[in-house]
Structure 1
Amino acid sequence: MKKGMAYEDELINGDKDLLALLKGADPADLGVLVDFLTDSGKGRLAMASDVRKALEHAKRQNKYSHDELLLLIRELQHFGGNSVANLVRRTGVPYAEIVRDVLKYVGGKIDNESVEMLELKILEKLVAKAWEKMSERERAEFARNFHAAHGPLDLGLAAVLAAVRAGGLNAAKAALMAVGSVATLLAEGAFSVGASAVAGRAAGLALGPIGALVAGAAGVQMLAKEAYRVTVPCVAQIAYIRQKQAANAAAP
């Protein structure tokens, strides 16, 4: 039994906390993660076809076994961390490293904080970027979804971000909005500065100085974009799962 547990721990880089979180998630919320990982079933170059089929099967059944959750976590880890490097090496990294990498990518500051707090920082950045692109009417409609015990919050961005920072139900609502906006933000190059810095670092790790030169900036950016199309929305969705569970636990 110990040998089996040790192997499992190695398989998912010790991410037992993430495994426990996903075990308590609604199957529909896990299905969103599967869509991000598999490109809605179309498959990705960095994913084996048998893995895609297994995850798609679990989604169709609306039920995830222990082994299927391990598979889901492992595949996320393969896209994570220094994303270009792991697309090439396929080694995978712990979820906490993925979160730190995504936070840096979206322009956030990494402090010595818990994974949950770093996730909230990512949500703040995603919401703020999406807010920039909203009309005044869209901003008002979005802000009205945030409520405090004493009534509606101020409709400004600062109040919305403060609500996100507090965690719980408001953060879960923000996470849903963030998940829905990621594809557009990435397509429009909202984080291009962060993408260049992270891609350059990762290319050196994955390909070496000569390989990075041969691949060229366009090739590196393409690999980075593929990876972040997975890791950014997955982290936002996991943040949603975490905050949703926290809100449910706090409900009377």
Structure 2
Amino acid sequence: MDTEFLKDSGDLEALLRVADVDDLDVLVDYLTDSGAGRISLSESTLKRFEACKHARLYPAVDRAEIAREIVLFGGNSIANIFRGGKGVSYTELVGDVASHLKVAHTKGANAMAIETAIVSKLYDETLSKMPTFERKRFIFQDLIHLNNEPDMGDMPESLFKAQVVANGMASKMLGRGIKLGDWAPYALFLTPFGLLASVWSAVELTGAAYRVTMPCVIQIAYMRQKALCGPLPCKCRKCSKINAPDAKFCSECGDAMPQGPVASTAVTAPFL
């Protein structure tokens, strides 16, 4: 899949068209308050999204509706009237969240650049607030381990940070972490970040609208980075040859490959 368009596009619907079901479930839980409903969300839309979750199937029309509801939350009711019910643009929404969090960003920057700035600030602030011993352990042990897994391609820093922050947000807002597929082995190293003090304080001090838009933006930032990275390379443990994702034996040395992708694993925060 060509993912170059995701780097500069503020087209949220286009990103959601290639999103995994588990990631869409998180967005739906943010929009619906985990199924409890919200004043600004119609009963029919709530039922529609809950049906998609139950069936684990999001048709294109429902993915588009999720995108529409997110941008509607991004504008106040008066502004939305003048926009014909379309809400703000996604890029405008991301910029507004960044301003609310006091994240510096260049005027006219694209959505991905602003998302990255938001994630980086929250991640860096979290590191700075961790106890010294835990921070050193993470930097000098966990990251070294992540970059040297014999059967994994190196996890890009941008994806790793987005994963950590998205997991912290979901743990706080939904009482559960995000779910990971091919990158599941890294889940073990996200649990120390369950606390994520920066995200917690940002949520607690925010207004009602930002309790929807802020977690959605963080989740979308993670989804974008995952989409840009594509499937995890299927690397042979013995000779490091990159094989097809469904390969049973290495095409170079014949060694047995891991059987299929790693099952999705919920990342939980033990300190909640």
TM-score bin, normalised by smaller chain: 0.5 to 0.7
Question: Which of 95, 107, 131 is equivalent to 1:100?
Answer: 95
> Deviation string for 1:112-153 (max 9, x for gaps)?
32211111001012213333432234434544554599769x
Length, aligned pairs only: 191
State the partner residue of 2:50: 56
1:230 correspondence with 2:224: no
Q: Does 1:136 align with 2:123?
A: no
Q: 1:26 to 1:130 in 2, by over 3 A?
A: same
Distance 1:40 1:120 in 2: 26
Structure with greater Cα Rg: 2
**Structure 2 residue 6 is matched with structure 1 residue 24:** no
Superposed displacement of residue 42, structure 1: 1.0
Q: 2:98, 2:104 within 8 Å by CA — same for their partners in 1? A: yes
1:18-70 residue CA offsets vs partner (Å, 9 max, x unmatched):
22211111111111111111111111111111111111111121111111012
Q: Structure 2 regions of 5+ residues with no counterpart?
A: 1-8, 150-154, 173-196, 234-241, 243-272
1:206 aligned residue? none
Distance 1:47 1:23 in 2: 22
Q: Distance in 1 between matches of 2:38 and 2:224?
A: 26
Question: Partners in 2 of 1:40 and 1:190 — Cα distance?
Answer: 16
Identity %: 32
C-alpha distance in 1 between matches for 2:126 and 2:80: 28
1:198 corresponding residue in structure 2:
none
**What does the per-residue CA deviation read over 1:98-119, in whole Å, with 9 as the maximum and x for residues that have no partner?**
1100111111123132211111
* Distance in 2 (alpha carbons) for counterparts of 1:107 and 1:84: 24
Change (3 A) 1:250 1:62: closer
Q: Say whether residues 1:176 and 2:172 are aligned partners.
A: no
Of residues 226-235 and 105-114 in structure 1, the stretch that sits farther from structure 2 once superposed is: 105-114
Bigger helix share:
1
Is contact 2:74–2:93 with CA below 8 Å preserved after alignment?
yes
Residue 104 to residue 62, structure 1, CA distance change in 2 (3 Å)? same
* Cα gap change, 1:126 to 1:189, in 2 (>3 Å): closer
Unmatched 5+ stretches in structure 1: 1-14, 153-167, 193-223
1:45 aligns with 2:32: no
Alignment partner, residue 116 of structure 1 = 112
For residue 165 of structure 2, what is the amino acid of its counterpart?
A
Q: Distance in 1 between matches of 2:15 and 2:142?
A: 26
Cα distance change of structure 1 residues 150 and 185 upon mapping to structure 2, 3 Å threshold = closer
TM-score for both structures, normalised by structure 1:
0.64
Distance change >3 Å, CA 30–CA 247, structure 1 → 2: same
Residues 183-222 of structure 1 aligned to structure 2 (within 5 Å): 183=172, 185=198, 188-189=201-202
1:164-184 deviation line (CA, Å, top 9, x unaligned): xxxx73222212221233446
Tell me the TM-score normalised to structure 2 length.
0.60
The amino acid of 2:229's aligned partner reads A
Residue 68 of structure 2: aligned partner: 74
Match for residue 59 of structure 2 among 62, 65, 82: 65
C-alpha distance 18-136 of structure 1, shift in aligned 2 (>3 A): same
Check conservation: 1:37, 1:230, Cα contact below 8 A. yes
